[in-house]
Chain A
């Protein structure tokens, strides 16, 4: 019988039965068990795992919220209040979901900072970087759609302002806007489709995350030195070493997000969103969510409608071509004495842009936003290509293991690693 000829790779016969028909067991063993991680990876490398776990948390809490939410302009606001007051643990589900979104962006921003500082976007991981930027774009779209659903004043006017961005496009803008809204203004048709899209996009994100992870596993993870893995001595297996390390990161993250969920659930919320949407009254001060604020600052820094919209989308689009703007062969900023500081300044600048993006666009704030805008684009289009040509990088270590053998204070850990192998 053919059953007798099935290979016996595992002790468990059920696993063998599955493996013979769908080699998924060996796939997971290879990608999440034996997968070699550079042994010098620091805790910045835990943020990919954190992001994945947060995505799953968002999808699960979202599905349970959807069971009690009503996507209708007359009922949406009340259904959210009902979730908060009457649905069992509804308040917890909603606070997990709303704060989870904010923490998702914190994690992803740190993940992006890691990728930029250590040059993870460079050859041969460019496609991986592009997939990552694509995930970031999808996240922004999803969070914007989700923010509309409670149908408060900020939901309504945020949706109005953002969909009006499309009307800046010459000729087709107005028609495109009406098509997106399904009405002449943000209305019931809009709320319905936003809910449908908000439900489906996270699963799209999940799919792209799968590609993102698969892509990084092809050439292996980058590491703080930015140099390639030379031998087995440079690595440790994902299981158990990195799994344990990531688990510790998850525990610390869990403490932080729980502290916010239970003790300051509205710290990152806008009070105006607890006022039901009113199409005839605009709040005096419309604020985007903080994680979108840097781009909002860029939009408002330009005194021209089309120009502002173009630069705002351009600020995101430019991330896609970063791997080709960087002319340096050295990945890690640890070995790039000049670029390192411009990179740090870029992170600070992004933070400052976000800060002024949440304040009124006038006077000093407007001036700061304009300077920030110039540095944002200057960093990508001028500094990044030119530094690569003029900078003299520090000498790279011969291998990842060398870092441990050379540095006196790291020696004990190098010994430990040797014992393991």
Chain B
């Protein structure tokens, strides 16, 4: 009986030692893993202010936000019309145009293809804009429309809309 009692104490000691050891090891590893996440100064670069007064209708500019290209396009009436008249249920990633813009003429998008991260073409006037008059990703052939929504190709989602606000009529703060 005494031996049995001893064994129970031994089991308890063994288990609690292993548990404490495991917790300690995990606590030790955590700072190392965490150090690989974006550093404070990287996160601090999180906002960009853009003056959009020089952009004409139909033109686009590309600005950098968090190291990524952000597309700002001043859409033409036809482009807005095109974006609004699409049957939403036909879309791969259904989203209405009104949910993707704050002002109809200004379309602000993260210019990173949602497939594997390439920058789609369509910013320059000479670029191919794809079959839906928006953007075309040359890497694996994704086509985006005038609202930046995925219409054809392997990309799973629409081009992301970054958080942004209009500081005034001609200044956009991204981030």
Q: Give the interface of A toward B (CB within 8 A).
A: 157, 160-161, 163-165, 167, 178-180, 182-185, 187, 189, 193, 279-282, 284-286, 300, 303-306, 308, 361-362
Q: Is the CB of A160 within 8 A of B116?
A: yes
CB–CB A282/B119 < 8 A: yes
Q: Are B139 and A286 in contact, CB atoms less than 8 angstroms apart? A: yes
Known interface pairs A308-B154, A361-B140. Does A164 touch B116 (Cβ–Cβ under 8 Å)? Answer: yes
Known contacts A160-B116, A187-B67, A305-B156, A284 near B39 by CB under 8 Å = no
B residues contacting A by CB (< 8 A) are 33, 36-39, 42, 62, 64, 66-69, 111-112, 115-120, 137-141, 154-156
Cβ–Cβ < 8 Å partners of B120 in chain A: 282
Residue from A164, A179, A182, A280 in contact with B117 in the complex, judged by beta carbons closer than 8 Å: A164
Other A-B pairs, 4, CB within 8 Å; known A157-B139, A185-B112:
A161-B117, A189-B39, A285-B138, A361-B140
Would you mind naming 27 contact pairs between A and B with Cβ atoms under 8 Å apart?
A160-B116, A160-B118, A161-B139, A165-B116, A179-B36, A179-B37, A180-B36, A182-B36, A182-B38, A184-B38, A184-B42, A184-B66, A184-B68, A185-B66, A279-B67, A279-B69, A280-B64, A282-B118, A282-B139, A300-B154, A303-B154, A304-B154, A305-B115, A305-B155, A306-B156, A361-B140, A362-B141
Instruction: Note all chain A residues with C-beta closer than 8 A to B154.
Output: 300, 303-305, 308
State A185–B117 Cα separation when bound (angstroms): 9
In the assembled complex, the CB of A71 is this many whole angstroms from the nearest CB of chain B, namely 16
Q: How far does the alpha carbon of A44 sit from the alpha carbon of B15 in the complex, in Å?
A: 52
B104 to chain A, nearest CB (A): 26
Report the Cα distance A179→B69, complex, angstroms. 20
Given known A-B contacts A185-B66, A280-B69, A308-B154, A178 and B115 have beta carbons under 8 A apart: no
Report the Cα distance A178→B36, complex, angstroms.
9
Which residue of chain B is the closest to A184 with respect to CB atoms? B66
Contact B39 A182 (CB under 8 A): yes
In the assembled complex, the Cα of A95 lies from the Cα of B29 at a distance in Å of: 38
Q: Which residues of B contact A178 (CB under 8 A)?
A: 37-38
Set of chain A residues within 8 Å of B141, measured between Cβ atoms: 361-362
Residues of A within 8 A of B36 (CB): 179-180, 182, 193
Which residue in chain B gives the minimum CB-CB distance to A279? B67
In the assembled complex, the Cα of A34 lies from the Cα of B37 at a distance in Å of 52
A281 to B67, CA, bound (A): 12
The CA of A201 and the CA of B46, in the complex, are separated in Å by 33
Residues on A with C-beta less than 8 A from B42 are 182-184, 187, 189
Pick from A282, A300, A306: contact of B138, CB below 8 A: A282
Complexed CA–CA distance, A280 and B37 (Å) = 23
Roughly how many angstroms separate A204 CA and B38 CA in the complex, as a whole number? 26
**A203 CB, min distance to chain B CBs, angstroms:** 19
Interface centre among B42, B111, B117, B141 (most CB of A within 10 A): B117
